Amino acid sequence: MKRSARFTLVVFAAAVVAMALPDVSIAQQKKLVLWTHWEQNPEFNKWYETKGKEFAKKTGYEVEVVTIPYQGYEAKYLAAFMAKNSAPDIFMGMTHQWCGQYDFCDKMPADLEKIYDQNLPKYMADVGKWKGVRYGIPIEHGNFQQMYINVDMFKKAGLNPDDPPKTFTTDWLADMKKLTIAPNGGEPTQVGFAIRSKGHPVGITDKFLPFAHAWGARMLSPDLDKATGYANSPQMVAALTFFGDLVLKDKVASLAFGNPEDAFGQKRAAVIFRESWFFGWVKKNAPDVNFKVYALPCEKACPGAGALFPWTDLVYKNSPNKQAAWEFMRFISNARDDMEHHQMQGILPVWTANLDSDYVKSRPDYQSTKAMLAQPVPPTYFHPKSNELATAFGEAVVGVLFGKGQPKPLLDEAAAKMDRILKD
């Protein structure tokens, strides 16, 4: 063999050996990796790392936060959990999905479970639980839609922003008509209601459900094992007809206005239904919007404090650092940290003790949140296949909005599809 070839081979072999040997000279910093897809709340996410520095002084474990874009987050989580070696230690998700449908979650230690059972608001008692067992910590109180109104637009339309509409089909619809501006009867330049029509059908279902619940409808049976007769009930048809008419007949909402949050922030829409985190988003992204927050209007019933996406912080079952992960969860599980964490981003805290704090009382959604919580709790759909079910249902909603068909046949088709999903 030539000298140059021999030399190359020796260098190559040395490199392979060097890479294969464990690096003992540099002590690696221990860390907990936390995945979150709450990309619209960066300060909230950053807090974990800040708190992690304090935690590191006690235990040697720092916390690294990785923000996964919400779009397609399920695929990234799934790939990581199935690969095991690149999975996070702590992750944000829905309990019924990641712990129910798939066994990726570690059960919360009993002492921590007791703390949360004692300190969560009653309506959130089941958030973070699957079949009565607690796995996760709810991260958001107020994860239900409320009505945000643009005060200046209301005044300009001759409406009283301190006297919000209370019923969908009467004063709410009338107000939306007054708030809509369509020059010469053409396309509106300003709409009353910022409707969600873009994106995945799951999100569209989430935004439609308050209307459904207000009409006394529910998406699934109480046992969550049947859709026909519920997803296509006469009440649901009526709710979807009203919802579709907002765009097609009453023209107080428009499909051309894109992202509803942007439409509200840019003062092209006067009203939006969004969760409590939206208050912080408006303050940061549209500080010139003068807004108030009220409870959602009612119809036959009141929508109540319900959500399709009960986000929780969960610990990965196969994490090599799960003991440390639960230690970190214990470290931040107190009323003070709960307040600091949520106040940082302008989100409602979770602990009952904080719900009447000065911070919460000073928020524009304080009264509206209390009003919503006073309403009967609406149906929940914490089913392992909730994504797929909500997608099938959402396809009917979107179909109506885009004029693909009438509510009844589209809902019949959706209900049949949902039943197939449930049976599969």
- Which strand (E) or helix (H) includes residue 100? none
For the chain, the residue count is: 424
CA 238 to chain centre: 26
Choose between 87 and 282: whose C-beta lies nearer to other proteins: 87
List, as own/partner pairs, every contact residues 150-157 make where C-beta atoms lie below 8 angstroms and the sequence separation is at least 24, other chains included: 150/264, 150/267, 150/269, 150/270, 150/271, 150/289, 150/290, 150/291, 151/290, 151/291, 151/292, 152/267, 152/290, 153/179, 153/190, 153/267, 153/270, 154/179, 154/270, 157/270
Choose between 24 and 83: whose C-beta lies nearer to other proteins: 83
> Which of helix, strand or coil describes residue 379?
coil
Question: Smallest distance, Å, CB 398 to other proteins?
Answer: 4
Choose between 4 and 184: whose C-beta lies nearer to other proteins: 184
Extract the tokens encoding 243.
């919802």
Torsion over CA of 195, 200, 201 and 204, rounded to 10 degrees? -20
Gap between the Cα atoms of 164 and 154, Å rounded: 10
Question: Smallest distance, Å, CB 147 to other proteins?
Answer: 23
List residues near other proteins by CB under 8 A: 71-72, 74-75, 78, 81-82, 101-104, 187, 197-202, 255-258, 268, 385, 387-388, 391, 395, 398-399, 401-404, 417, 424
Question: Smallest distance, Å, CB 150 to other proteins?
Answer: 17
Question: Smallest distance, Å, CB 17 to other proteins?
Answer: 21
Choose between 214 and 401: whose C-beta lies nearer to other proteins: 401
Question: Smallest distance, Å, CB 73 to other proteins?
Answer: 9
Q: CB-side exposure of 31: number of CA atoms within 13 Å? A: 19
Question: Smallest distance, Å, CB 314 to other proteins?
Answer: 15
Choose between 369 and 386: whose C-beta lies nearer to other proteins: 386
Choose between 376 and 403: whose C-beta lies nearer to other proteins: 403
